[in-house]
Amino acid sequence: MIPIADQQRCQALVRQAAAGLLDPQGRALAAAVQWWPLEGLAGEWPVAVLGSGPPLLLLHGFDSSFLEFRRLAPLLAPHYQLFIPDLYGFGFSPRPLDGHYNPTAVLDHLERLLPAIGQRLAPGGAAGPGVGLIGASMGGSVAVALARRQPQQIQRLLLLAPAGLTGRPMPLPPLLDGLGVRFLGLPAVRRGLCRSAFADPDADVGPAELEIASLHLQAPRWALALAAFARSGGFAGCGTPLPPQPLAVLWGAQDRILRPPQKRAAQALLGERVLELERCGHLPHIDQAAAVAEHWLAGQVPRP
C-alpha cells in the first residue's frame, strides 16, 4: 500500500526538480519523467523516457536517483530510446508501507518494468529484440543479476564502476542500520561523499551537484527504506556467474569510492572486459560522459 499523500509528494519532488534544479541538464531529465503503473505493484513509478531508437535501460547506484544520468542521457538520446527508472526503494520512487526493501524487491520491480517497456515499444504485443542495459555502481550488480534472470530480454551490458560483483552480503544489524542512515543524511557527510565520487571535486562539485545528491532524501520513508535495505545486506557477490550476454566495464582511474581490494577482486572476475578511464572517478557517466557514450555507441564489447 502507498498512501496517496506519499505518491503525491514523490511526484511533487520530481516536478520541483524539473522546474528549479540549478543544473539545466538535471532539469531537462526530470522533465522527461513519466509515472507508470506496473502490474502487480501498487502506485505509479518514475521512469525518465527520452530519445528515439532501440531501447536502452539505465540503472543508477546506491542511495541515488535517475538524475545520475543527466550528462549521459543527452549524448545517447539521439540514437536510443532511453528508459531511466528509479530503483525500488531509492530516488523518488514511492515506498510502500508493506514493502520489502532488499535485492529481490529491486529485481522484481525491474522485471515488472521490462514488459511495460515492451508494451510502449510494441503496443500490439509483438516481441522485440530486447534492450541494452547500462548500470552504474550498485546498478552494475543489479544489471548483471537482471541479465541472468532475463537473458532473452537483455541484449548487452555496460557496467560503470560496478559495485557488489564480488564479496558477500554483510547485513547491518538493527540500531546500526538506523545510525548509518542518519549519518548518510547529514549535510556534511553528503558533501563529503559527493566530493569523493568525482575525479576533480574542487573543479566539479558545487551547489548544483550537492543539490542533486540530496534532493531525494525528502522522499517519504527514505530513511526507513534505506535502513531496511542495509539490513538485507544489499547486492554483493552478484558477478558469479557472469551473464551470457556481451559485457563491458568502464572504471575510473581515480575512483576513491571502491577500495583497491574491491577493484582487484572485480578485475580478477572480469578480466579483459575492463577499460580504465583517466581523469575519472566513481562516476564515469558524469566525469567522462562523452567517453561512455562513445564506448556504447561503438558497440565495443571486450571479451576475456
The number of CA neighbours under 13 Å toward the Cβ of 1 is 3
Task: Give the pTM.
Answer: 0.93
With bands split at pLDDT 50, 70 and 90, how would you rate the model's confidence at 302?
Answer: very low
Q: To the nearest whole number, what is the mean pLDDT of the chain?
A: 91
With bands split at pLDDT 50, 70 and 90, how would you rate the model's confidence at 126?
Answer: very low
Calculated CA dihedral for residues 89, 91, 92, 98, nearest 10 degrees: 10
Mean pLDDT of 128-145: 92
With bands split at pLDDT 50, 70 and 90, how would you rate the model's confidence at 57?
Answer: very high
Mean pLDDT of 164-178: 76
pLDDT in tens, 80-125: 999 999 999 999 999 999 999 999 999 999 999 999 999 888 765 4
Q: What is the pLDDT of residue 167?
A: 81
DSSP string, 146-209: HHHH-TTTEEEEEEES--SSSS---PPPTTHHHHHHHHHTSHHHHHHHHHHHSSSHHHH-SHHH
- Using CA atoms, how far apart are residues 15 and 7, in angstroms rounded to an integer? 13
Mean pLDDT of 226-231: 92
With bands split at pLDDT 50, 70 and 90, how would you rate the model's confidence at 176?
Answer: low
- 43, three cell numbers: 502506485
CA angle 288, 294, 297 (to 5 degrees): 140
Domains of the chain, each with CATH number or no CATH: 4-298 (3.40.50.1820)
- Tell me the percentage of the chain whose pLDDT exceeds 90: 76
* Identity at 93, one-letter amino acid code: S
Strands (E), the chain: 33-37, 44-51, 55-59, 81-85, 131-136, 154-160, 247-252, 274-277
pLDDT in tens, 258-277: 888 888 888 888 888 999 99
